Amino acid sequence: MPVALARRYRCGAVPVLAAALLLCAGDSASAQVPAALSEGTAPAAPGPTALPAGAPPAVPLTPGAMALREVAALLLGLDSFQADFEQTQEWVGMDAPAAARGTLYLRRPNLFRIEYAQPKGHLQVSDGSRVWTWVPENGEVLLARLSDGPGGSSDPLRWVLETGRAEPGVVADTVDGGPSRCIVLVPGAGSGLKQVRLWTRPSSPDLIRYEYEDDGGNRTLYRLIRTQKNLALDAEFFRFTPPPGVPVVELGSP
């Protein structure tokens, strides 16, 4: 993909990490527990059937793995989600961080819509199989196919959760003047990501901020505000039709 095209796509990118927390497991009844969430197990209840004969004792979860399990359990249990967000991107070679803000809508298992208020008019929509990105000043619509492959750009956190691990400790921090905890994830090889950080309040698993850093040292930070859970969102809300006469450029095509 040409650098200019990739940069335009990335600058209009959906907050995919929050989206993937909701979308990565599909239906909760059949969800698989990712490696990052199954690092160790909680101590089994005492009794003759707690462990098979000759099995090693259970290893307690680390504080980081426990915190991640709480966050993922809450979000994966939702049917839909809406949040206003503020985004900051720090790219290697950029003169100054780039700021954006907008509203994120999600409906499981694989629909999302991002309406940007800044830059005004930018839009990104997943209809379940394709992600459409509309940046009016570029004069074109970008199309990306949703991918389940390793490190797929449409769902990076799914790859992180399946192959990465939470750092053992939870970092005490401050967000918007209040106490918070930060969970640090080390992604698996091939994800394209160097580190992912998730912030919640100390007594709540609700995600309030997250950041990911790619292998090139580029960082993207999102702050989630005014969230709503399990609201009614019609499937038609996640359809996109390119404006008449506007060319569609499919990412990854020759």
Six token digits for residue 108: 């499981």
* Predicted confidence (pLDDT) per residue in 141-175, tens digit: 999 887 654 444 444 445 555 566 889 999 999 99
CA 201 – CA 149 distance, rounded (Å): 33
Give the pLDDT score at 51. Answer: 47
φ, ψ of residue 69 in degrees (nearest 5): -60, -40
- CATH superfamily, region 3-38+61-243: Lipoprotein localisation LolA/LolB/LppX (2.50.20.10)
Task: Enumerate the domain spans of the chain.
Answer: 3-38+61-243
Decide if pLDDT at 240 tops 60: yes
> 22 versus 83: which is more confidently predicted?
83
Cβ pair 114, 15 in contact under 8 A: yes
Q: Say which DSSP state 29 is in.
A: G
- Chain centre distance of CA 72: 11
pLDDT band with cut points at 50, 70 and 90 for residue 2: very low
Confidence of residue 46 (pLDDT cuts 50, 70, 90): very low
Dist CA 130 CA 100 (whole Å): 23
Average pLDDT of the chain, as a whole number: 76
